[in-house]
Amino acid sequence: MVFKSTLPPVTYPKTDVATFIFQSIRKSNVWSNPQQPAFINSDTGDVVTIGEFEVSANELASGWQNIVGLRPGEVVAIVSANDIHYATIIMSIILAGGIVTPANPVYTANELAHQFKDSGAKYVVVNPECLPAVEKAAQKCCISPQSVFTMPNRLSKSPVPSVFTLKSHQPFQRLSLTPEEAATQTAYLCYSSGTTAKHPAVSQFDLSSLKGILAGAAPVSPTLIGEIYQKYGIVVCQAYGMTELSPVTLVTPVNNPHQASAGILVGSMEGKIINANGEELPPNEIGELCVRGPNVMKGYLNNLQATTAMIDADGFLHTGDIGHVNEQGFIFISDRIKELIKYKGFQVAPAELEALIISHPKVLDVAVISAYDHSQATEVPKAFVVLRAQDIPATEALEKVLVEEITRFVHDNVAAHKRLRGGVEFITEVPKSAAGKILRRILRAREAEKNGSVIQTADTVMAKL
């Protein structure tokens, strides 16, 4: 049974993102005072006003075209943490006809190089702190040093010029799309990333202007939601989704009657629950959640096979999550088909870690699963390793040394969120099916039994971005 969102349909824009954003601002009440803040850096006190936001985006768009020579469809990578100038730079690239690929600032040079190559990035804008890794990655991808610019930072002493030095008052060819082109033109090439944390210094910030919070990437407990409301009077709603869904699919209502639910479909979306044979199921029967709507991605870059495996002929994207929908349209997630590990909102692919670990000269075979760290309330990667016969340690002391060696090997080659926080355990054989597929469920069950706990299911991972 296909079910629809219980929320009103959304009228989505049929123009480019930048035009939509700036037109919306001009039509809203905030435009009555262009000098009011749009973005505030609480650490430095720096502010970008609403008026500066649009002016800077247009001046920088002119620079991209007239100074840099950015051509329509070329890709610009941005490697930076949250920044008050981030939105300005994104809008400028889109206005100039370019495509944005945001990269995780904690990525290593090798990981950045992969994204640069895969996306076809021609230019890079980087936070000065990330410059060493970006310079190495750019060299691997034949991106010239003249094509790398830094994020605006008045405290930076980097010799690499700020992207704001490109600002120009020259006329430029602003991106103009027909409604049909707007529906298909790529604006972002997104690679999954994100993080959450309970900030110990939250009380020192002025939250008087904060009216609501939409939390994603990792779940927020009902207890914490209650604490936030009691202390600040701020309502917290949670969102479930994925990058492939731009990225929100489900949201919890302000007065959520089902705390265990992942939420209801956002406006203009449809969903269905299917069994293993692809047959649609009625309410309250468990199967895979599939969704359809205007926010479904175009597909995976240069990977038609992965796209067709993800999006069926009817336009439904298969989320890989198991759950059910009740008669009121509330969706409950109970398990996950996919093997991705979610460490504090970051996605960690076991296969990626396995490919790295198997390259260690002392490793014969390996399987990576998600263990659960209750102290951090998150999944963590754990590796089960089969050693080569000649490298099996003879004593516990030598075994400890080898565990540390493999752990360090991984840590030196991946971003921080991919580290083996669940540890390394030596086993004699990786359990596999007759077809050679790793039977992770056996290892997960073994891990759960050893720790005297149940296997964590996806109802604790309601919010995904």
For the stretch 61-113, pLDDT in tens is 999 999 999 999 999 999 999 999 999 999 999 999 999 999 999 999 999 99
More confident residue, 29 or 223: 29
Of 154, 155, 149, nearest in space to 130 by CA: 149
In whole angstroms, give the CA distance from residue 276 to residue 337: 11
Beta strands at 331-336 and 341-343: parallel, antiparallel or unpaired: unpaired
Task: Assess contact for 410 and 417: CB atoms under 8 A.
Answer: no
Of 230, 324, 236, 231, nearest in space to 274 by CA: 324
Mean pLDDT of the 113-138 span: 97
Residue 259 has pLDDT above 90, yes or no: no
Task: Report CA-CA distances (Å) from 408 to 36, 42, 107, 237, 422.
Answer: 49, 36, 17, 39, 13
Of 316, 250, 270, 228, nearest in space to 461 by CA: 250
Looking at the chain, how many residues does it have?
465
Residue 270 has pLDDT above 90, yes or no: yes
Omega within 30 of 0 (cis) for the link into 159: no
| Residue 403: strand, helix, or coil | helix
Residue type, 149: F
Grade residue 155 by pLDDT with cuts at 50, 70 and 90. confident
The percentage of residues in the chain with a pLDDT greater than 90, rounded to a whole number, is 64
Mean pLDDT of the 259-267 span: 88
Task: List for the chain the helix, strand, coil content (%; round to 5).
Answer: 30, 25, 45
Reported in sequence order, the residue ranges of 374-419 that DSSP labels E, i.e. its strands, are 378-387
Mean pLDDT of the 268-280 span: 95
- Single pTM value for the model: 0.75
Mean pLDDT of the 187-216 span: 69
Convert the pLDDT of each residue in 169-192 to its tens digit. Answer: 999 999 989 888 988 889 999 986
H/E stretch holding 200: none
Phi and psi at residue 5, in whole multiples of 5°? Answer: -60, 140
Res 205: pLDDT: 76
In whole angstroms, give the CA distance from residue 84 to residue 152: 9
Res 8: pLDDT: 92
Residue type, 331: I
Grade residue 218 by pLDDT with cuts at 50, 70 and 90. low
Beta strands at 341-343 and 317-325: parallel, antiparallel or unpaired: unpaired
Phi and psi at residue 318, in whole multiples of 5°? Answer: -90, 110
Q: If you average pLDDT over every residue of the chain, what do you get?
A: 89
Count CA atoms closer than 13 A to 336's CA, side-chain side: 17
Angle between the 17-27 and 86-95 helix axes, to the nearest 10 degrees? 120
Task: Assess contact for 351 and 392: CB atoms under 8 A.
Answer: no
Res 349: pLDDT: 81
Res 219: pLDDT: 63
In whole angstroms, give the CA distance from residue 106 to residue 440: 28
Among 132-141, 257-266, 391-400, 424-433, which is the least confidently predicted range?
257-266
In whole angstroms, give the CA distance from residue 285 to residue 323: 8
Question: Which domains are present in the chain?
Answer: 17-176 (3.40.50.12780), 207-336 (2.30.38.10), 341-454 (3.30.300.30)
Res 193: pLDDT: 43
Convert the pLDDT of each residue in 362-387 to its tens digit. Answer: 999 999 999 999 888 899 999 999 99
Residue 458 has pLDDT above 80, yes or no: no
Res 335: pLDDT: 64
Please spell the DSSP secondary structure of 255-299, one letter per residue. Answer: T-S-TTS-BEEPTT-EEEEE-TTS-B--TT--EEEEEESTTS-S-
Task: Assess contact for 124 and 115: CB atoms under 8 A.
Answer: no
Convert the pLDDT of each residue in 27-72 to its tens digit. Answer: 998 888 999 999 999 888 899 999 999 999 999 999 999 999 999 9
Return the CA Rg of the chain.
24
Among 51-55, 204-208, 419-423, which is the least confidently predicted range?
204-208
